[in-house]
Chains A and B, each alone.
Chain A
Amino acid sequence: MPDTELFEDVACPFCGMLCDDLEVERSAGGLKVRKGACGRAVAGFERKLPASNPQVRGKAVSRDEAVAEAARLIGQASLPLYGGLATDVEGMRAVMALAERSGGVVDHALSEAQYRNFKVLQSVGWTMSTLTETRNRADLIIIAGTDVAALHQRFFERIVAPPASMFGVDAKKRTVVVIGKGLDKAARNAGVGEVVTLPCKPEQVGEVVGALRARLRGFTLNKLDIDGVTLADIDALAGRCRKAAYGVVVWAPGAFDFPHAELTVDQLAGLVKDLSTTQRFAGLTLGGAEGATTAASVSTWLSGYPMRVSYASGAPEFDPDRYAIARMLGEGEGDLLVWIASYSPDLVPPKTDVPTIVLGTPGMKLPKSTHVFIPIGTPGLDHAGRLIRVDSVVSLPLKDLGRAELPSAAGVLAAIEAAL
């Protein structure tokens, strides 16, 4: 391997957008993002990896010993819980195989947010768009309750106000409507034609959109004031919707962090559905960091379900409430936690009394429950891999940039399965 090497067309695994136009240089000092940088990419690619060893109960051991101990714990467990699941396609395949083999439960760290979407999909369906389609076509982008720039720093540069678009919808011809308070800074800096803000709290987005749907259907509403959003604001937005050639409603389910927030997502999907009878509208859901979209997709094609599946009986049994791992740990269900976190050192396992096996990126702060720790590589830095993008359509190859000699989650999980 040469001392320094420049990689082009590098896909970034640190958020769900998977921008793949990065240039990253590897030298003795580590990785440096030379092109296509954003804060998340720099933090992810340029993070200094501390030296890290496999451990059993805090004591450094060889990888083989750690694998053998993990296999022993999994073999003894009656109901192992496979959580975190921040990995790539190959890692998820290995997780599913091991969960099946050991009669375990699978659930991703960010499932709670994703389930706000899945519950709507599984009850009423929806109409959606993708990143390239939105980039070229959307003349009205309604951002609902979501701090998009915090999740995807390059969303405005690449999707909302791209330098070129195929159908003549250049940035100046686009309108961005932000439903939410304090979320419009990036939109205002993006150089689009018009930015309109309807300031309200995330909990009130559903109510604002409900009022909008009522007005679009021609209902009369009494004078309303939703945290400062008035009927006149709603009606102005209705007018903008009616004039749009291709409107896209954007949200990240993680932004709606309150009980029954799936009802907010239901309003957003319902808005798209109402408008689609005579014109074209679509949704675009964001988030999907930590391999969340990949975990859901792979779990679905292998089991039929987007995680929250138990293999305790041998067959996949699905229950989005019962098999939520955070709930299970809280209520003393399950007797072993297997936690996989390949990307961010901050994705630490939840506090628990059950013994925990952590397959994590070096630098993670390990909880007291950790019995076995095996450092693993980050897909797209330490080994090649594949990830599925947040729109659930596009998947991208991740390169081995040769950062560190660390095994893949897939490799470690396969070794554990072989040792069972």
Chain B
Amino acid sequence: MQMLSDYQAATQAMATAGVLVDSGPLQPPTAATTIRVRDGEPLLTDGPFAELKEQIGGYYVLDCADLDGALRWAATIPAARFGCIEIRPLMMPPDQG
């Protein structure tokens, strides 16, 4: 349960610093269902949308000034030590960019 407490500590630090907007772990890809709507017909598939080596295990939404800030916080997420963290800015609606 070391991992869980590591996550709690990292998430708590983000909250304390006021950058944490939202976060959450995801159930494993075996729990995934994929839906496509084609010609108005929903098509369901059992499984994730792509068979990748890496699977998304969770997400964080952080409010940072720039990439360096985001990188600093991302490096504190425990999964960064054995997996990897992809960082992408949210696309802002035109009147907020």
A interacts with B? no
